[in-house]
Structure 1
């Protein structure tokens, strides 16, 4: 299946990257130019220290050309010695000078060489370490959440999911922009750079082993293609997708999405409600904002509530989830609450507090 705009999206993704990459969160380090500058300064200090050590003990050295060693000769000797060139025109002749070469200048030579090749060693070590981290990350990643698209919708979805206690290590972000992935990794999420309509990109995010998938792309046709690919790779994961136009929602569900959020129509309904009743609009906006004012959550039934009607509970029950059905609080089929039910309630949010693992905030538009 190929929808209009897919080629343009693929070309745009190719402009951002040469190969698909997985980026893991990492600590911020100095820029390469600053690291090289530090190493050069350290090497220069070692060179100057060696030159002055030779100069202060210059009577213990001999120069084949004029038999004396001055400050310039000391720097020359330090340079050829530390670089292991060793022309032999200036040599230590006294016992003190030779002992100084053994116990002082030789260690300085080793330090000097380590500083010079340190950048290369660091690159090799960093590559090995990064490869090890990536392999370990792939081996332990199970039942995670994949978020496709790290725009406003995707970022808000991650924040809501993490409010339930989900660790950031269990979230993988997929986006075609390398800069966007850099932002995601800076916030503590693992990221994959690439076009999410391609199965090889989703496999790099270990989507085939994910528990839930959030699709928050910028275009509806992209969302359809991503949903088809994701469902083909993972038959059991819960897929929630966002679309701009309500007419595309059925297509998303046919493609394999379990739930579809229509952002444009939801925003339009909130605008209309705010016009008709500003107070009602404020209440709805309060419900949408996670962690402040009122929150809508899904929680299990407690034993004290079994046999009661939804109106008789201490919390404000909006709906009852029974099996695969969502029943309104006044639906005659609800009858009394059963122990296997789950309740969708409106509660007072506690700022800064995490939601209990078994209490789930409802998805925001």
Structure 2
């Protein structure tokens, strides 16, 4: 169920108003029955005396200088003042209890999740590149949102990620303790997509030290920084500025080619590039003669184009990069 969020100031204001309402109710009750009370001066209770008695009574201070002496006044204290005292204390300490309860609940959820999560994907940075990477993961692999963790320093970006059902961690991914909270040491892949290239290098270094077996994929703006990412431990580096520039250059001559590339890179509709293992019936054959449009063959971790002589015959253990048609029903059901 959606939760109604109230600002801290409004919540505190409501509690203060409630406390004063309980206090004034006690003052009014004591003032009406003031003849049943005795004070140390034995000169009767004024309105100020009633206010004083209600304050020290509800706050459980109880100096004893004003006391109920008649049976009716004592009955009113038992039936009315005592419940008001309890409600007054609940209002005063309610904010603290609520914060402690919420923190304990959040810590328990995080602890359970960290013990349970395995083979997830950590996305560092939820800007344009990070959002696109998450959309591709959700569309291409049918990944569960709870298996994607977003790390960012921008709370607005984390709120947007949380609205998609993703796990969020607030902090800088250049710090190993933040990546540990995200479970990077047990992640299947780490996507590094910050807004600055120097941040990408630092994040990659930290992630590789913490997760030596995870696959790290990084994005940079400038091609001259690719070797820095590679040396830092990135398995794959994408140059965003050069890729966009190439598409712009192609669009000046053959704009429809750009449309086709965009179609291939958008897994939600049309055509998409996918990877699959070789079937036993396909072993020994040529990848160019398969019903699928094969673009390349992955063998022993290396990618070969479909026209390379090394992959004239498909072998067991090969994987095929091919063009597949996206079925709209699949995404309509998501």
- Picking from 213, 223, 242, the partner of 1:246 is 223
Which of 255, 258, 262 is equivalent to 1:281?
A: 258
The answer as to 2:128 corresponding to 1:142 is no
- Within the candidate set 242, 265, 276, 1:299 is matched to 276
Partner in structure 2 of residue 121 of structure 1: 97
Q: Which residue of the partner structure matches residue 4 of structure 1? A: none
Unaligned runs of 5+ in 2: none
**Alpha-carbon distance in structure 2 between the residues aligned to 1:87 and 1:235:** 67
Which range is displaced more, 33-42 or 205-214?
Answer: 205-214
Query: Cα distance 1:50–1:326, how it changes in 2: closer, same or farther (>3 A)?
Result: same
Of residues 168, 171, 194 in structure 1, which corresponds to 2:172?
194
Deviation sequence 1:72-114 (CA, Å, 0-9, x none): 7665543332122445565444444433322332122111112
Of residues 149, 168, 175, the one that matches 1:172 is 149
Distance, in Å, in 2 between the alignment partners of 1:339 and 1:45 is: 79
5 Å-filtered alignment, 1:209-288, equals: 209-288=186-265
Contact 1:173 1:191 in 2 (8 A): yes
Quote the Cα distance in structure 2 between the aligned partners of 1:184 and 1:241. 19
Q: Which residue of 1 aligns with 2:325?
A: 348
**In 1, Cα distance between equivalents of 2:322 and 2:219:** 24
CA contact (8 A) 1:192 1:205 kept: no
1:195-245 CA-to-partner distances (Å, cap 9, x unmatched) read 51x545544444333221112233334433433343233321111111222
1:105 aligns with 2:108: no
Deviation at 1:63, TM superposition (A): 5.0
- Give 3-state SS (helix, strand or coil) of 1:295's partner: strand
Q: Provide the rounded CA distance (Å) in 2 between the counterparts of 1:134 and 1:319.
A: 42
SS in structure 2 of the partner of residue 103 of structure 1: helix
Distance 1:59 1:82, change over 3 A: closer
Alpha carbons of 1:67 and 1:248: their partners in 2 closer, same or farther (altered >3 Å)? Answer: closer
Q: Which residue of 2 aligns with 1:30?
A: 6
Q: Which residue of 2 aligns with 1:18?
A: none
CA contact (8 A) 1:242 1:260 kept: yes
The 5-angstrom pairing of residues 43-54 of structure 1 reads 43-54=19-30
Higher share in helix: 2
- Looking at structure 1, the residues matched to 114 and 4 of structure 2 have their Cα atoms a distance apart, in angstroms, of 22
Deviation at 1:170, TM superposition (A): 3.1
Write the distance in 2 (CA, Å) between the matches of 1:310 and 1:59.
99
Residue 160 of structure 1 pairs with residue 108 of structure 2: no
Q: Distance in 2 between matches of 1:50 and 1:73?
A: 12
In structure 2, what is the Cα distance between the partners aligned to 1:237 and 1:90? 72
- How far apart are the structure 2 equivalents of 1:108 and 1:303? 79
Structure 1, gaps ≥5 residues long: 1-25, 356-365
1:307-352 superposed Cα distances (whole Å, 9 cap, x missing partner): 6654554443323333323333344443455564333232333458
C-alpha contact 1:169 1:190 (8 A) present in aligned 2: no
Q: CA deviation at 1:186?
A: 5.7
Q: Please report the RMSD computed on the Cα atoms of aligned residues, expressed in angstroms.
A: 3.7
Which residue matches 2:36? Answer: 61
> Structure 1 length normalisation: TM-score?
0.74
1:353–1:55 distance in 2 versus 1, CA, 3 Å:
farther
Between 1 and 2, higher relative CO (CA 8 Å, sep ≥ 6) is seen in 1
**1:184–1:191 CA contact under 8 A, matched in 2:** no
Structure 2 counterpart SS, 1:84? coil
